[in-house]
């Protein structure tokens, strides 16, 4: 293993992580809900479902974040290397897979692991595993 120290940003990573943890805690402590983005967005695709009002507001909050960050700090750095075909395939896989597996990085990763949920752990190991594998294949086998 070869650590890329120049790209490693431990403090901002921890600070951002604490903010994400606080956001998930708020939603659980006051609204009794798991902050799972794929679950929230997926539920919005079934209109008139109970609780969709607050789901829309949660999504609105996320959408406001880059605007607020741009006003207060700077334009967030977002670098996308994938081309259109990869983006469309990736989006389809992420949408379908996260719904089939009932969660993504937020619901299974952050909420599931902090609840010590076995399902969250199995899901997180599965998506991390296939994520590592696909990047290995793309960057080191095909691109090698």
Partner 1 sequence: MRNLIALLSGLLFGLGLIVAGMANPAKVLGFLDLFGAWDPSLALVMAGAIATAFMPMQWANRASCTLTGEPLQLPDTRRIDRRLVIGSLIFGAGWGLAGFCPGPALVGLAAAVPQAALFVAAMLAGMLLFKWFDQPRARQ
- Name which of residues 12 to 41 contact partner 1 (CB under 8 A): 12-35, 37-38, 41
Q: Are 71 and 137 in contact (CB under 8 A)?
A: no
Alpha carbon 133 to chain centroid distance? 18
CA quadruple 6, 9, 10, 15: dihedral, nearest 10: 170
Closer residue to partner 1 (CB): 12 or 48? 12
Q: Could you tell me which of 13, 58, 14 has the C-alpha nearest to residue 33?
A: 58
Q: Tell me how far, at minimum, the Cβ of 22 lies from partner 1, in Å.
A: 6
Distance CA 127, CA 51 (A): 28
- In the complex, the smallest distance separating the C-beta of residue 52 from partner 1, rounded to whole angstroms, is 11
d(C-alpha 83, C-alpha 20), whole Å: 29
Does residue number 67 form part of the binding site for partner 1 (CB under 8 A)?
yes
Q: Least CB distance from residue 71 to partner 1, whole Å?
A: 12
Q: What x-and-dash track marks residues 42-61 binding partner 1 by CB under 8 A?
A: x--xx------xxx-xxxxx
Q: Name residues contacting partner 1, limited to 80-139 (CB under 8 A).
A: 80-82, 84, 86-106, 108-111, 113-119, 122-124, 126-136, 138-139
């Amino acid at each position: 293993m070869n650590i890329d120290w120049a790209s490693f940003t431990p403090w901002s990573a921890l600070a951002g992580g604490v903010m994400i943890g606080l956001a998930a805690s708020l939603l659980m402590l006051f609204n009794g809900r798991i902050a799972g983005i794929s679950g929230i967005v997926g539920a919005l695709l079934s209109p008139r479902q109970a609780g969709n009002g607050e789901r829309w507001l949660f999504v609105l909050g996320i959408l406001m974040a880059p605007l607020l960050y741009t006003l207060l700090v700077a334009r967030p750095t977002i670098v996308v290397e994938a081309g259109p075909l990869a983006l469309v395939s990736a989006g389809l896989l992420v949408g379908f897979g996260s719904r089939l597996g009932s969660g993504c990085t937020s619901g299974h990763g952050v909420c599931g692991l902090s609840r010590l949920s076995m399902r969250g752990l199995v899901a997180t190991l599965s998506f991390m595993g296939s994520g590592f594998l696909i990047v290995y294949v793309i960057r080191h086998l095909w691109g090698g």
